[in-house]
Amino acid sequence: MPAQLTSDDVVRIAALANVTLDPREIALFTRQIGELLAYVEQLQQVDTAGVPPTASVRRGAAGASADRPDEVRPSLEIADTLANAPDADRSQMEGGFFRVPRVIG
């Protein structure tokens, strides 16, 4: 990590992101990103040697998963689902489909 973030660094980052910054924004982002990097540097100094790796941060009590089990439940009827569709294909034997404009190809 660079010891000191410069405004030239911010200009290069902005160019990579295809973002145009005015001089006030360059100064502001130089300060803000510099503060963020200083905080990350501080976090990297924390000794985590005795901390076991975490597979997920979403755990319930005693390591149990906080996710609910999958259950089969009834869903909307196809006719109700397509009722407000502007251009639905209702001709299918096993249910209809939403028609949308082609966006690829």
The answer as to whether 37 is a domain residue is yes
pLDDT band for position 95 (cuts 50, 70, 90): low
The answer as to whether 12 is a domain residue is yes
| Distant-in-sequence contacts of 21-30, Cβ < 8 A, 24+ apart | 30/5, 30/6
Name which residue leads in pLDDT, 40 or 102.
Answer: 40
The answer as to whether 11 is a domain residue is yes
The answer as to whether 35 is a domain residue is yes
The answer as to whether 26 is a domain residue is yes
The answer as to whether 33 is a domain residue is yes
| pLDDT number for residue 1 | 47
The answer as to whether 19 is a domain residue is yes
The answer as to whether 16 is a domain residue is yes
Name which residue leads in pLDDT, 22 or 64.
Answer: 22
Could you tell me the pTM of the whole model?
0.48
Q: How many domains does the chain have?
A: 1
pLDDT tens per residue, range 35-73: 999 999 999 999 999 888 876 666 555 556 667 788 999
Name which residue leads in pLDDT, 6 or 83.
Answer: 6
